[in-house]
Amino acid sequence: MARIAVLIDEMFEDVEYTQPAEAFKRKGHELVHIGLKKGIKVKGKKKGTEVTVDTAAGNASAGDYDALFIPGGYSPDHLRVDQDVLDFTKAFVRSGKPVFAICHAPQLLITADVIAGRKVTGWKSIVQDIKNAGAVYVDDAVVEDDNLLSSRGPDDLPAFIEASLKRLEG
């Protein structure tokens, strides 16, 4: 089973975390929550879902994980100001292993400078940001470009989860 790194911070979109996380766990995958500081509790923006950060990004290595999951909400915007998070994200995308990004998650990918020339989707408010980063925006429920799998938002969760699980199965 896969060991999945979850990049997460305050104000993540609860459902964009909880539904994929539950689906991953049901299939036997392990989630490791990576954030700004080990041991802190971060909360979702609507339902206050609590998640404890297992490892600080500065102590995480892309080589230790099989996939990367980035939930949306305000979390990606909070995370993208941290150089350790950006370094981890960049190394992970370049590793060729699966990256699952939903809603506002491309904000982190944009700042890590890893989407130029790639096909990506995301929340409607960041469409222009995606284009300005040199990516090709595609308005579909799930967009797959090599190791990058992205979705627009909560309405796309069933398709996002299905595509992510399929990718984890190999």
* b/e 38-52 (16+ beta carbons within 10 angstroms → b): beeebebeeeebebe
| pLDDT score, position 62 | 97
Range of the domain at 84: 3-169
pLDDT digits 0-9 by tens, 5-57: 999 999 999 999 999 999 999 999 999 999 999 999 999 999 999 999 999 99
* Bridge partners of residue 7, in order along the sequence: 34
CATH code assigned at 148 = 3.40.50.880
Among residues 56, 67, 103, 110, the one annotated as catalytic is 103
| pLDDT score, position 156 | 98
Nearest Cα residue to 23 out of 149, 153, 163, 129: 163
pLDDT digits 0-9 by tens, 153-164: 999 999 999 999
Reported for 16-19, long-range contacts at CB under 8 A and 24+ positions apart, including other chains, are 16/71, 16/72, 16/73, 16/102, 16/103, 16/153, 16/154, 16/157, 17/44, 17/49, 17/51, 17/71, 18/44, 18/49, 19/157, 19/161
Global pTM? 0.98
DSSP state, residue 54 = -
Number of folded domains that form the chain: 1
| pLDDT score, position 170 | 78
Active-site residue 103, yes or no?
yes
pLDDT digits 0-9 by tens, 100-150: 999 999 999 999 999 999 999 999 999 999 999 999 999 999 999 999 999
Give the separation between CA 82 and CA 93, rounded to whole angstroms.
17
